[in-house]
Structure 1
Amino acid sequence: MRQAISFVLPTYNCHCVQLVETLCRQCRMVQAEYGMHYEIVVADDCSTDRSYVRSNSVIERWNNVRYLKLDHNLGRSAVRNLLAREARHEWLVFIDGDLAVDRPDFVEKYALSEGDVVVGGTAIGGDAKLWHNNLRYLYEKRCEPAHSAQQRMRLANREFRTTNFLVSRSAVIANPFYEAFRHYGYEDVLFGKQLTASGHAINHIDNPVLIDDYESNPVYMDKTEEACRTLIEFRQQLEGYSSLLALSTSLVRWHLLPLGKLAYRILGTPLRRNLSGTKPLLSLFNIYRLLYTLSVWA
C-alpha cells in the first residue's frame, strides 16, 4: 500500500476541472478506506488560450489541490520536472491534463500497485458516429488492441508512455526528463529508456485513463509532423525505441534517402490533403509519416 501519492497534471490549452474533481473524489474514498495521504498538483504551461486558465482556476479553492500558472512556456519535459520538484509525496502519478478517468477504482489500483514504475495505459472512448472521420480517433482505435497491459508488458521499456503512470519522486529527480525535448513527441520514450538504464523495472497494468476528445485532422497532422522532426533530431538517443526510426534508418543505409525525398515532393501534398480532410484514409497515414520523416532527414 502506498501511503502518500501526489497526482501531478501538466496542462496546456485544455480543461482539467472534471479530471481533478474525479481524482479528488476517488482520493477521499481511498483515504477513508486505507488512510492514504494525497495531493493534486496542476501546472498550466503558459496556455496560449487564457480562457482555459480562467476556467480551470476553480480548482484553486479545493482542498489538497495546487494550481501552478506558469508565466512562460517550459515545454513538455521541463514542466514534468517542475511538477516532480513541487510534489510533496514520494509517489507520483503523472496524468495528462486533457484526459479523463472513468474507472471507479483508478486511484485505488495505483495505491495498491507494486513496482518502482507502473504504467496504467489508455482506453479509447468517444462516440464512433461522431468521430468516424477523425484521423486520430481512427488511428487510436486501430492501435488499441496492441496497447493492452499484456501486450505492453512484452516490450515493457519500449511501451512506456507518460500519459498515465506512477513513479517514485526520487527516480524522477535522479533521472529527469530530458529538457532539450521542448516540442511534441518521444520525450516519454527517452524517459522510459533512462529509467530502464538506471535499473528501474517498468510494470504495465490495466488502469487506463480515457481519451474521449480528439483534435481536428489538420491539428493532428501538425503534431504528427512535429513528432517526426523530434524523432530525427534525437535519433541517436532514440535508436532501438521506434519502429519508424528503424525503418527510416534502414532506407538511408540502403541509399534510398534521395528516392524518399523525391517521393515526398511528389506525393506529400496530396497525401496530407487527404489526411487533413473530412474523409481521411487511415491506410495512407503511416506512408505519409515515413515519407515526411525522410523529407526532414539531414
Structure 2
Amino acid sequence: MLSVLIPTYNYDITYLVHELHKQATKAEIDFEIICLDDGSKAEINSKNDSINQLNYCKFKVLPLNIGRSAIRNLLAKEAQYENLLFIDAGTFPKKDTFVKDYIPFMAKEASSGGMTYIEKEPESKYKLRWIYTKKREQNTLCSSNFMIKKKVVLNITFDESLIQYGYEDVLFFETLRKNNIEVFSFNNPVIHDCTDDCLTFLKKTEFAIQNLKLLAESKKLDKTQSNILKYYSIIDKIKFVKITAFCFKLINPILKRNLCSKFLLLSVYDFYRLGYYCLIKTKDK
C-alpha cells in the first residue's frame, strides 16, 4: 500500500526510520521503507546499515553520487507500492500519527503535509536555516514531505540535469501543475532539524542559484515562479546588473556577518541571493 522513500547523504537516519517503521506498523498497512545514500562513503553508514534488520526496510549506499533528482527517481522505480511517501533525511514527523494521517489522502494523485521548524531558537550560527524554515518554507511545497502516485512520478520525473542542491523540487511541482496535477496541502508536517550552519547554508544557496540560472536559461522556470528572476528582470531592464553584482562582491563580508549573527535579517538573505545571481550572470557577458 505505501512505500516510504528516504534519500540521504552522510546522515544518521536510524531514528527517523525507526519512528516511521513504528507508525506504519501501528497503522496496520502494507508498507516498505527504502533508504538510499547517494554515495557518501561515510562512516555513519555503518550505523544506517542496521536499518536492514527491520522488517520491510532496506538501506543501501549507491556506488556513485547521482544527484538529488536522480536518487528520487531511482527510489520511485525501486518502490513496489503505488503510493510513494518521500521524506528527507534531516526531518522528523511532528505527530505520532504522521503515517496514519496520510492514509485518507491515498486516493489523491499527490498530497503534502508540509514542513515546520524546531520550536527552540538555535544558537546564532544555525539561526539562518532555522528562521528561513520558520518564515518561508512552512507555506511552500517542498520535496521533504509529500506523497504521490508511482505512475505519476514515473511519468513526470525529477529533472536529472540538476545534480547539486536547489530548485529540483520547485521545478518538479511546477511541472505537476502544468500537467494539471494538483498537490493537496494539509497539516501533517515534518520538523526540519536545521543542522546546517550559516556558511554551509549560504554555500547551498549559491548552488541553488546556479541551478536557477540553468533553469531560467533553458526556459524551464521563469519570473512567474521565482522572485529572484522577477527582480533580476527589472534590474536587467534598467541596466543595473553589473552594479548590483559589484555591490554584492564589495559588501559580501558584511552580508555574511549579518546572516551569521543573532540579529540576521531575511531581507539581507534575499539581497544575497539576488546579488549572487547578478554576479554569475555578469560572468556570461
TM more than 0.5: yes
Cα deviations across residues 57-90 of structure 1 (Å, max 9, x unaligned)? 1101110001121010010000000000000001
- Residues 1:175 and 2:156 are matched in the alignment: yes
Question: Number of aligned pairs?
Answer: 277
Identity of aligned residues (%): 30
Q: 1:292 matched to which residue of 2?
A: 276
Note the alpha carbon deviations across 1:99-143, whole angstroms, 9 max, x for none: 111301110111111521101100101522546862111222233
Secondary structure in 1 matching 2:43: helix
Residue 269 of structure 1: which of 249, 253, 258 is its match?
Answer: 253
Give the distance between the partners of 2:87 and 2:269, measured in 1 at CA. 27
Q: 1:164 aligns with which of 145, 168, 178?
A: 145
Cα distance in 2 between the residues matched to 1:220 and 1:133: 9
Candidates 59, 63, 78, aligned match of 1:71: 63
Instruction: State the distance in 2 between where 1:133 and 1:8 align.
Output: 27
Aligned: 1:202 with 2:183: yes
Q: Structure 1 unaligned runs (5+)? A: 149-158
Q: Deviations over 1:201-236 (max 9, x none)?
A: 111110100113321111111111111111112112
Structure 1, residues 3-45: CA drift from partner, whole Å, max 9, x if none? x0100000011111011001111101111xxxx2100000000
- Comparing 279-288 with 249-258, greater Cα deviation is found at 279-288
Q: 1:156: which partner in 2?
A: none
The answer to whether structure 1 residue 83 and structure 2 residue 75 are counterparts is yes
RMSD: 1.7
Q: Are the aligned partners of 1:184 and 1:227 in contact in 2 as well (CA < 8 Å)?
A: yes
Tell me if structure 1 keeps the 8 A contact 2:255–2:272.
yes
Q: Which amino acid aligns with 1:267?
A: I
Mapping of 1:272-283 within 5 angstroms? 272-275=256-259, 277-279=260-262, 281-282=264-265, 283=267
Work out whether residues 126 and 194 of structure 2, in 8 Å CA contact, stay in contact via their aligned partners in 1: no
Give the aligned partner of residue 17 of structure 1: 14
More displaced, 189-198 or 62-71? 189-198
Give 1:138's aligned amino acid: I
* Aligned with residue 190 of structure 1, among 160, 171, 178: 171
Distance in 1 between residues matched to 2:54 and 2:44, nearest whole Å: 18
Residue aligned with 1:24, SS: helix
- Report the Cα distance in structure 1 between the residues aligned to 2:18 and 2:118, rounded to whole angstroms: 19
